[in-house]
Structure 1
C-alpha cells in the first residue's frame, strides 16, 4: 500500500510523495527523472513505548470498549528517568536568555551560577533563577523552591553583615547584588529591595573603594555603581559615588586595564543625582548663588562629555551607517509605527551601547541645564565646523532634546534586532537610555507609539513603558520636557517668554585637534 510505513518497499522519497516507486536500486529512477534526490530504501528504527500490565480477558469486546482501552493507553516512562538532574541547566539557560540580566551581570553573574564565587553567591543565583523560571512558566512548585533558597540566602547574609569591616567581607557584594536582582524582579516583598540597597551602601562605605579594585569584584562594583546611580536619579538624591575617591579608587591597581568607555561616561552620570537634588533646592528656595554654582558644575560635566564624544568620533569615524531594507532585521518588521524607512546600523554592539549611554548623559545634563538658564542667555562660542558622513549626531549638531532621544531609540532598534547574536558583554544600562528617551518623546504622538512598540517587541522589555518591570518611562521625569523640541523659526519658549534661540554652543567641548 503506497505511503503506509511497513507495507511499501518503495524508496523513502516516493513514500513521502505518496507515489508508486519503480523500486530501482540503488536509487529510484522515478526520483531522478523528477529532479528529486532519492533517499534510498533504508527504514529508520521505529521505537514505541507500550505500557505492560495485567489484563483481564473478556469474552466479548465491542468496538466501543476497544476504543476506550486504546485511548486510555499512555506511554509509561520508567520511574528512574527524570528532568531533575537537568533542572539547574534549564533554569540558568532561561535566566541568561534574558538580555538585561545576562549583559548587566557579565561576567560575575555567570560565574556565580557555576559556583566559582562562593556558596552564598551560588545559593542566591539558584534562588533568582528558580523564582524567575517558576514565575514565567506558572510553576508554583519551582517558585516555592526558589523562595526557600532566597530565604536561606537572606538569613546567611544577615548573619554576616555585622562583620562587613572584616577582611574578605567585600566578597558579599556579589550575593547582595544577586538578591537585589531577585527582589526587584519578583516583587513579593516591597521592603526587600530597600534592605538590599541599604546593605550595599553599608558594605561599600565601610570597605572603601580600593577593596573592589580586583576582579571579579570590580566588574560587580561597576554594575552596582550603575544601579545605585539609577536609584539616585529616580529619587533625585546625591550619592557618595560622585566623590573623587570613588571615581578613581576601584581602578587604581597598577595592573588594572583602566576604565572602558562606558565607565568614563558613568563617572559623569554619577554627578547627575546631586545636580537634581540641587535643582530641586533652587526651585524651592530661589537661591541664585546655588543656581549659578550649579550651572557651572553642569557646564563642566557637559564639557567632559562632549570631549569624550569627539575622542570617540576620532577612534570610530565609521561607527554607524543607514540601510534601506529590513530583511536582515526581521524583528523591526513587526513595528508598525516606525517613523523611519531606513535602519541605523552600528559597527558593533559595544559601540551601540557606548553611544546610547553618551546620549543618555547628554539628555540628563542638557535637560537640567535648560531648566536653570535660558538657551538664549548662552553666549555663542567659536566651534569647529566639522562635517561627518556618520548619521550620528556630533556635539555641535545638537539643538534639542528630541534629536538626542530619537537617536537613542534608533540605536535601541539595532540593539533589539541583533542582541541574540551577541555574546555576553557587560552592558551597564540596558533600559535607562530608552526610558529617558521615552519620557522626552511621550508628548509626540508620532514617536511615542514607536517607543511603546520598541518596548513591547522585545521579550525582555515588554511592558516597560507602562512600568511592567517595576520602573517605566515615567520614573525618569528628571527634567521639563518643555525644551524637548526646537522650533523651526529659531525661537524657543522658556517659562512663558520667547527668546531668540541660540544653540548651546558654549557647552560644546572642542576636539583637541582637527579630526580630519
Structure 2
C-alpha cells in the first residue's frame, strides 16, 4: 500500500541525498513548479515536487476468535517470514558498481569531500608507496558505499579491510629503514581520511595523526630531502598544521630544521612559503590563552602580517594573469528571487560570482592565503581583548568601501586589464577575505576532481575557518546563510563537520 512521503524535498535533491534549497529557505514555498536553488547552482535538472508514493507492506492477522484484519509488517517481521516455494527471482541492487568489485570511482563521484582527497589518494596508491595503501583505498570505498547506501555487508567488508590495514601498518612501523618508514606518512593520512569519511570523526585529531607526528620525529627532517618523500612531507605538514590550528597549540614543525632541511635539493614553491607563515599561527593562539601574554603577541602578529603581505605580492607578480572572475546569470536571477533589498553586497557577490584559476594549486594558494589572513585578524582581535565571535559590525563608510572594492574587481575583470583578487591591504575586514575564499571553492573543487598531478591534501580546516566567519561574524540572516551553504555540498552539515575551526581564545574573558 502507498502513502505520501513526509519530506518536502524536490525529487532531484531526494535522489542525491542532500538538503533541498527551497525547503531550507521557505517551507511554505510553491511546490507546483520546480524552483530549487540547489539544483540551479549545481547544474542538475530539478525534478520538481510531484510526490511519489512510499510503499508500506501489510499482512493478514488472525485473532484467537477467528477475526482477521490487516496489520502493518515491519522490516524485522519480513525477515522472519518463511519464503514460499516457487521460482527464484534474482534481485539486482541498484548500485553503480557490482558488490563484488566496488570501484573507488563510486567514492570519487558521489562523496562531497572526495575531490579534496582525490589527488593524494591516487598518488599514494602508485608503485612508489606500500601496497597496503591500495587496501586502505578499498576500505574507504567500501566503508563509504556501505554508509551511504545503508548496506551492512559493504560496511563490514570496509571494516575488515581497514583492520587488515591497521595490522599491516603495525608491522611496517617496526622496520628500521627511515625512507621506507617515511613512506607511511601517506598511509597515516589515508587512515585519517577513513576515520573522517566512515567513522565521522570531525573536529578532532584521530589517533593516526599522533602516529604521523611520531613518524616525522623518528625519521627527522633530513629524510624528506628527495622525491617522492618531499611530497609526502608537504601533505603531512599541511595536515598537522591544520590540526594545530584547530587545537590552538604550537606545532613542532615551526622549528627551523623542518622549514629548511627538506628543501636543500629542491626549489621552494608558493605553497611551501605560505605554510612557513601558517605554521606559526597555532603557537600564537596558544600564547594568547594566557591573558597576560596578549599585549606581547601583537608584535608577532604584525610581523606575520607583513610576511603574509610580502607573500601575496610575490604571488601576484607570478600569477596575476591566471585568475579571472566569472558572473553567473542563472545564479543572479535565483539569488534576487530570494534575497531582501538590504542583503549585504558581499552576499550577492558570492552568489553571483566565482573565481577561475588555471591550476588547482593556484586556487588552493588563494584559499589558504585568505584563511591565514582571517586567522591573523582573529588573533589580533583576541589580543586586543575582544571575545569570540569577534563580530564585524561595519559602519556606513566601511560598507561603502566594500562596495567600491566589489565594483572595482568586477570592472577590472570585465576589462581584462587587472586581477579580480584583493591586493594586500585592500582586505581590511574578515568578511572580505571569507568572501574571496568562498569564491575559490567552485574552481578548486572542479579542478581537483580532474587533475592528474600531485596536490597536497586539503583538510576541512581552512573551509571551516571560512564558514564560521560567514556563519557567525558577518551577522547574516538564516536565509542568507542557507543560500550560501546550498552552493557547495561540503558545507552541508557544517555544524558537525567544522566544530572548533576558529580562534576561540578569550571566550568569556574581557
TM-score range, shorter chain: 0.5 to 0.7
Q: 1:184 aligns with which of 190, 196, 201?
A: 196
Gaps of 5+ in 2: 1-85, 340-346, 387-407, 413-417
2:435: which partner in 1? 406
Residue from 501, 504, 507 that aligns with 1:475: 501
- For residues 164 and 192 of structure 1, what CA distance do their matches in structure 2 show? 30
Whole-Å Cα distance in 2 between the matches of residues 167 and 320 of structure 1?
Answer: 38
Cα pair 2:118 2:449 within 8 Å, conserved: no
Number of the residue aligned with 1:242:
254
Map 1:154-303 onto structure 2 (within 5 A).
154-163=166-175, 168-187=180-199, 194-253=206-265, 256=266, 258-281=267-290, 283=291, 286-287=292-293, 291-292=295-296, 294-303=297-306
- Compute the displacement of 1:267 (Å): 1.4
CA-CA distance at 1:182 after TM superposition: 0.8
Q: How does 1:140-151 map to 2 (within 5 A)?
A: 140-151=152-163
How many angstroms apart in 1 are the aligned matches of 2:200 and 2:293?
Answer: 43
Aligned to 2:343: none
1:339 to 341, 344, 348: 348
**2:104 matched to which residue of 1?**
91
Greater shift in the superposed pair: 159-168 or 185-194: 185-194
Give the structure 1 partner of residue 379 of structure 2.
368
Q: CA deviation at 1:154?
A: 0.7
8 Å CA contact 1:113–1:126 kept in 2: the answer is no
In structure 2, what is the equivalent of residue 394 of structure 1?
423
Q: In the aligned structure 2, how far is the partner of 1:441 from the partner of 1:76?
A: 51
Tell me whether 1:314 sits opposite 2:326 in the alignment. Answer: no
Give the CA deviation at 1:134: 1.6
Q: CA deviation at 1:115?
A: 5.8
Could you report, residue by residue, the CA deviation over 1:7-59 in whole angstroms, capped at 9, with x for unpaired residues? Answer: xxxxxxxxxxxxxxxxxxxxxxxxxxxxxxxxxxxxxxxxxxxxxxxxxxxxx
Contact preservation (8 Å) 2:123, 2:454: no
CA contact under 8 A between 2:204 and 2:243: conserved in structure 1? no
Cα deviation, residue 331, structure 1: 13
Count of matched residue pairs: 384
User: Which of 461, 469, 481 is matched with 1:440 structurally?
Assistant: 469
SS at match of 1:345: strand
Which SS does the other structure have where 1:180 is aligned? helix
**Structure 1-normalised TM-score?**
0.64
Q: Which residue of 1 aligns with 2:494?
A: 465
Change (3 A) 1:195 1:119: same
- 2: CA distance, partners of 1:417 / 1:242: 32
**If the length of structure 2 is used for normalisation, what is the TM-score?**
0.64
CA distance 1:248–1:94, change in 2 (3 Å): same
Q: Provide Cα deviations, 1:277-335, integer angstroms capped at 9, x if missing partner.
A: 11112x1xx147xx32x3222222211110011112222334444444335x8999799
Which stretch shifts more, 440-449 or 227-236?
440-449
Higher relative contact order (CA 8 A, sep 6+): 2
The structure-2 alpha-carbon separation of the partners of 1:219 and 1:235, relative to structure 1 and needing over 3 Å to count, comes to: same
Tell me, which stretches of 5 or more residues in structure 1 are unaligned?
1-71, 376-385, 483-493, 496-516
CA separation of 1:116 and 1:315: change in aligned 2, threshold 3 A: closer
For residues 208-247 of structure 1, give each alpha carbon's deviation from its aligned partner in whole angstroms, at most 9, with x where no partner exists: 1121233333222222211111211111111111111111
Q: Secondary structure at the match of 1:446?
A: coil
> Is the CA contact 2:434–2:469 (under 8 Å) kept in the aligned structure 1?
yes
Whole-angstrom distance in 2 between the partners of 1:420 and 1:221: 22
Note if contact 1:364-1:478 (Cα within 8 Å) is conserved in structure 2. no
Deviating above 6 A after TM superposition, structure 1's stretches of 4 or more consecutive aligned residues are 72-78, 188-192, 329-335, 479-482
Query: Partner of 2:227: helix, strand, or coil?
Result: coil
Q: Look up the SS of the partner of 1:259 in the other structure.
A: coil
Q: Conserved in 2, the CA contact under 8 Å of 1:120 and 1:153?
A: yes
Following superposition, the deviation at residue 350 of structure 1 comes to 3.4
CA contact (8 A) 2:225 2:261 kept: yes
SS of 1:202 mapped into structure 2: helix
* 1:354 maps to which of 365, 379, 382: 365
Distance 1:117 1:372, change over 3 A: same
Query: CA RMSD for the aligned pairs?
Result: 4.0
Cα distance in 2, alignment partners of residues 181 and 270 from structure 1: 22
Which is higher, the Rg of structure 1 or of structure 2? 1
Q: Would the alpha carbon gap of residues 446 and 419 (structure 1) be closer, same or farther in structure 2, given more than 3 Å must change?
A: farther
CA-CA distance at 1:269 after TM superposition? 0.8
| Residues 190 and 414 of structure 1, relative CA distance in 2, 3 Å threshold | closer
